Amino acid sequence: MTPDAPLRGRTALVTGASRGLGRAIAEALASAGATVALVARDRDRLEVAAAAIRERGGRAEIFLADVSDEAAVMALGASFAERLGDRLDILVNNAGINLRKPLVDFTLPEWRSVLDSNLTSVFLMCRQFVPRMTGRGYGRILNLTSMMSHISLPGRTAYSSSKTALLGLNRALALELASEGITVVGISPGVCDTEINAPLMQNPELREQFRARIPVGRFGQPSEIAALAVHLCREESGFITGTDIVIDGGWTAQ
Ligand SMILES: NC(=O)c1ccc[n+]([C@@H]2O[C@H](COP(=O)([O-])OP(=O)(O)OC[C@H]3O[C@@H](n4cnc5c(N)ncnc54)[C@H](OP(=O)(O)O)[C@@H]3O)[C@@H](O)[C@H]2O)c1
């Protein structure tokens, strides 16, 4: 735990916490003092992530759920209440997938799976958990958007559509919750070396092409995204809402 533990006494829930950015965010929130609910579908990886948090003195509980599934999110709501109580302070909607191919090659189920995983999941999670965040004058909802919410590339129609739509959800929900002291902020990472980017990272030529397009000359680190998430959860970040923060090594400045 960090010496000042700014999130001591807070309860946080992070979706997609079994690996990648979600795991890093969960670890950072726990280090800052929060009790963290780690949500994903892969039990083994969730257990490894939770064990790592506990080894460092943090508090973590794991929950198995497909956040694109309405019944699963309702069941998650019930098991969360049983194990961690009625209150939630910080909700990080991080779970997401990417499917890269030309629009004309998408089947409708493939298209829907991207929209359901990246956008409808956020609706379902917010509908389930926002009622547990109101009435206390503090709350943080962080939704993982993307550099692809602001620019795009060929083969990203479904992904960009889902992540750009999230900008609208964030703005409208921020307005709905502003008087409650609950902020809603998008975090738009640039390219990080995580499993979602395996098709790029495992192809040395493509990997180098992407790296060369990033002005700072390297990929983003999950710990850098996590540090931003912790900052946005601090009391003094309560004036940051309805907006999106790009953390991309300068890619979108070009
Ligand atoms: N890495 C980047 O460069 C980058 C850039 C911009 C935005 N982002 C966004 O950042 C977020 C995290 O990405 P990442 O790089 O950490 O990806 P990742 O390594 O592929 O991890 C994705 C996480 O989401 C979970 N997940 C996916 N679908 C789920 C579902 N239906 N229900 C529950 N959990 C689900 C996965 O866990 P299980 O498989 O165990 O369920 C996993 O924990 C995503 O929203 C992504 O779009 C990433």
DSSP secondary structure string for all residues of 22-36: HHHHHHHHHHTT-EE
Counting from 1 in the atom list of ligand 1, the atom nearest the Cα of 20 is 16
Q: Is 10 helix (H, G, I), strand (E, B) or coil?
A: coil
> Whole-number mean pLDDT of the chain?
97
Cα(32)–Cα(90) distance, integer angstroms: 12
For residue 171, pLDDT beyond 90: yes
Which residue's C-alpha comes closest to atom 36 of ligand 1? 16
All structural domains of the chain, each given as residue ranges with its CATH number in brackets, are 11-245 (3.40.50.720)
pLDDT in tens, 29-51: 999 999 999 999 999 999 999 99
For residue 1, pLDDT beyond 70: no
Given 80, 129, 159, 251, the catalytic residue = 159
Report pTM.
Answer: 0.98
Per the annotation, the verdict on 159 as an active-site residue is yes
Cα(170)–Cα(162) distance, integer angstroms: 12
pLDDT in tens, 112-160: 999 999 999 999 999 999 999 999 999 999 999 999 999 999 999 999 9
pLDDT in tens, 205-233: 999 999 999 999 999 999 999 999 999 99
- Any residues with Cβ below 6 Å from ligand 1, and which? 15-16, 18-22, 40-42, 45, 66-68, 94-97, 117, 144, 146-147, 189, 191-192, 194-197
Query: What separation in Å is there between the alpha carbon of 243 and the centre of ligand 1?
Result: 21
Neighbours of 38 (CB within 10 A): 28
Give me the mean pLDDT over the 3-11 stretch. Answer: 90
SS3 content of the chain, % helix, strand, coil (to 5): 50, 15, 35
Pair of tokens at residue 56: 């460092």
At residue 83's C-alpha, the angle toward residues 86 and 183, to 5°, is: 40
pLDDT in tens, 11-31: 999 999 999 999 999 999 999
Q: Which residues of 56-70 are buried (b: 16+ CB within 10 A; e: fewer)?
A: eebbbbbbbbbbbbb
